[in-house]
Amino acid sequence: MGRQRQQAGRWARLAIMPTLKAASSSAQPQNDRTAALLRRLEDLIRAETAQQREALERQWSLPLGERVAEERAELAQEHTRKLYMAFTRAGQRLVLTYVGDLPPVFQALQKYNLVEVLT
C-alpha cells in the first residue's frame, strides 16, 4: 500500500514537473505577467496533484473488503436507479432479461402475479 502511494506521487512529479521546468526555463518569459502566469499554473498543478494524492491515499487506506463492498454498493445503487427509470418510463409492459436464478425481489412479485416470468 505504501509503495503504491509512493508510485502515485512519483508519477505525478515525474509527469508534470519536468514539463513545467522545461517550459519555464526554455520559454524565458518576456514579461512579468507571463512569469506570474507560469508560477500560478505550477501552483495550481501542485495543488491538484496534492488533492489527487490525498484522494488516492484515502481510497487505498481502506481494507480491501471495505473498498469492494463500497464499490458493490455504488454499483447496486446505480443499477437500481436504472431499473426505477425503466419501470417509470414503461407504460404498460416492461421486459427484463436475466441470467441465472430469478432474483428474490422478482420471485416475490411473481408470487402476487405482479410480473410474468417467461422461461
Residue range 32-90, pLDDT digits in tens? 888 888 889 999 999 999 999 998 888 778 777 777 787 888 888 898 888 888 878 87
pLDDT at 71: 81
Instruction: Give domain status of residue 20, yes or no.
Output: yes
Name the range with the highest mean pLDDT among 8-12, 14-18, 100-104: 100-104
Measured distance CA(51)–CA(48) in Å, rounded: 5
**What is the count of structural domains for the chain?**
2
Pair (56, 78) in one structural domain: no
Q: Is the pLDDT of residue 9 over 70?
A: no
pTM greater than 0.85 (yes/no): no
Residues whose CB is less than 8 angstroms from the CB of residue 35 and which lie 6 or more positions away in sequence, other chains included:
24, 29
Full residue range of the structural domain in which residue 10 is found: 2-61
Instruction: Give domain status of residue 118, yes or no.
Output: no
pLDDT at 42: 92
Instruction: Give domain status of residue 116, yes or no.
Output: no
Boundary of a domain, candidates 61, 83, 103: 61
Pair (45, 78) in one structural domain: no
